Amino acid sequence: MEERNKPNLKVMPNRIIIKNGKIIFPDAIKDKLTLVCENGKIIRLSISDVIPETGDRVIDAQDKYVSPGFIDIHTHGGGGHDFMDGTVDAYLGAAEMHARHGTTTLLPTTLASTFEELMTTFSIYQEAVRRNRKGAKFLGLHLEGPYFAYNQRGAQDPKYLRNPEPEEYHKILAASKDIVRWSLAPELPGAFEFGKVLTSKNILTSIAHSDAIYEEVLEAFHAGFAHVTHLYSGMSTVTRRNAFRYAGVLEAAYLIDDMTVEIIADGVHLPKPLLQFVYKFKGPDKTALCTDSMRGAGMPDGESILGSLDKGQKVIIEDGVAKLPDRTAFAGSVATTDRLVRTMVEVAEVPLVEAVRMMTLTPARILKIDQHKGSIREGKDADFVIFDNHINVSHTILEGNVIYGN
């Protein structure tokens, strides 16, 4: 999947030099290396000191970790903003909040909504891309819904749920070239055909909010459904039909080796044993971390809204998560990407190198942008996060521009 929008940041012609850091590579951590970046790209990894030239910016990492920029492939907002608010300010505010926590690239994600709201989202997104200067880069849009199973709807508003109809989804696809991912339930009538259409357009087709059984998931996989949205949330597991047991989406995600998954690693959606289970049996190269964050990310506890301000649902933020008011289900997370990595390391006891890979190279490969992003290598984009032993972020750098930190 090619990047749909180039950054509108003005890359300075002078170099950025990062020294005295512990560089995190996909399979190792190495110190005594100096990073040299120019025109938004990594141009050199030097084992010797680099003498700054006039105009160079030197960042002393002070023995902190230097990681590739974090890539969030599923987020609805943050910092008091939701991408369904229908304003450019909501996009920019959420992107800037996530940048402060290490995110350099993200996919703004919608909720099940009306056709008209989607059309508004498409036009707002384009303007937000043009005006984004200080936030994480918008890589494209992730449509989550509205083609979901009612019984697995979670916090999705049931009045917007429907089956995929060619007349509607072809209009949607014709209205925007910025859709890079679409999540839906594959067992719905017409879903397989829709999946083939999405795959033909190089759009990541993902299983979500689904009551499918294993056999349906396997058929969907062959139709192009390559990924599973927020594993364990909004999906079927072992069930009975006419007294016979059937495996569900959850089991299929493990059994289909080449299917990738994402997890909300906030320590609440999935407790420690399940985080460790996913890591052990799916592995860091098939598992991406995602925030699935709503507007409450980076905000204090209390009442909030999931979705747009005027049409969204009231939720409560407490215990490090957003809940429906009756507390019968979670309503999206309030996580940030640094929290995800911290949770995998400190709670799930995953090695830092692999936790970072699940937040960088793995999502980059899932989105097919790993030739540019996801790891530190000469020629790749100069996207970095600098953080300490507890994953507290001090600097976020996007394509050679410091968007957070001094």
**Total structural domains within the chain:** 2
Verify that 354 and 383 share a domain, yes or no.
no
Closest CA to 297 of 83, 65, 134: 83
Q: Is 70 exposed, middle or buried (0-12, 13-18, 19+ CB in 10 A)?
A: buried
Low-confidence ranges of the chain (pLDDT < 50): 10-12
Verify that 194 and 211 share a domain, yes or no.
yes
CATH number, domain of 396, equals: 2.30.40.10
Cβ 191 vs Cβ 208: under 8 Å: no
The confidence score (pLDDT) of residue 1 equals: 54
Which single residue is written with the structure tokens 């170099």? 15
The confidence score (pLDDT) of residue 311 equals: 79
What are the respective helix, strand and coil percentages of the chain, to the nearest 5?
A: 25, 30, 45
The confidence score (pLDDT) of residue 52 equals: 86
First and final CA of the chain: distance in angstroms? Answer: 33
Verify that 44 and 181 share a domain, yes or no.
no
Verify that 86 and 26 share a domain, yes or no.
no
Verify that 43 and 20 share a domain, yes or no.
yes
The confidence score (pLDDT) of residue 103 equals: 98
Which segments of 336-390 are extended strands (E)?
A: 384-387
pLDDT, tens only, 54-77? 889 999 999 999 999 999 999 999
Residues in the chain: 406
The confidence score (pLDDT) of residue 10 equals: 47
Residue 11 lies in a domain: no
CATH number, domain of 239, equals: 3.20.20.140
Residue 303 lies in a domain: yes
The confidence score (pLDDT) of residue 5 equals: 54
Using CA atoms, how far residue 315 sits from 161, 204, 307, in Å, is 20, 29, 10
HSE at residue 88, side-chain half, CA atoms within 13 A, is: 10
Residue 1 lies in a domain: no
In terms of residue numbers, what domain contains 38?
16-67+377-404
The confidence score (pLDDT) of residue 11 equals: 46
Verify that 395 and 275 share a domain, yes or no.
no
Q: Which two tokens stand for residue 10?
A: 């003005």
Cβ 180 vs Cβ 109: under 8 Å: no
Verify that 316 and 386 share a domain, yes or no.
no
Give the span between the Cα atoms of 166 and 290, in whole angstroms.
30
List phi, psi (to 5°) of 227.
-140, 155
Dihedral over alpha carbons 144, 148, 150, 151 (to 10 degrees)? -90
Neighbours of 63 (CB within 10 A): 11
Verify that 52 and 77 share a domain, yes or no.
no
Verify that 327 and 352 share a domain, yes or no.
yes
The confidence score (pLDDT) of residue 4 equals: 54
Verify that 52 and 132 share a domain, yes or no.
no
* HEC string for 296-337: CCCCCCEEEEECCCCCCEEEEEECCEEECCCCCCEEEECCCH
Cβ 315 vs Cβ 306: under 8 Å: yes
* HEC string for 158-197: HHHCCCCCHHHHHHHHHHCCCEEEEEECCCCCCHHHHHHH
Helix (H) or strand (E) holding 138: strand 137-138
CA 231 to chain centroid, in Å, comes to 13
Residue 239 lies in a domain: yes
Residue 4 lies in a domain: no
The residues, ordered by sequence, that sit 6+ positions from 328 with a Cβ below 8 Å of its Cβ are none
Give the span between the Cα atoms of 119 and 21, in whole angstroms.
45
Coil, strand or helix at 356: helix
The confidence score (pLDDT) of residue 296 equals: 94
Residue 9 lies in a domain: no
Residue 137 lies in a domain: yes
Verify that 76 and 63 share a domain, yes or no.
no
Verify that 235 and 384 share a domain, yes or no.
no
Q: Rounded to two decimals, what is the model's pTM?
A: 0.94
Residue 2 lies in a domain: no
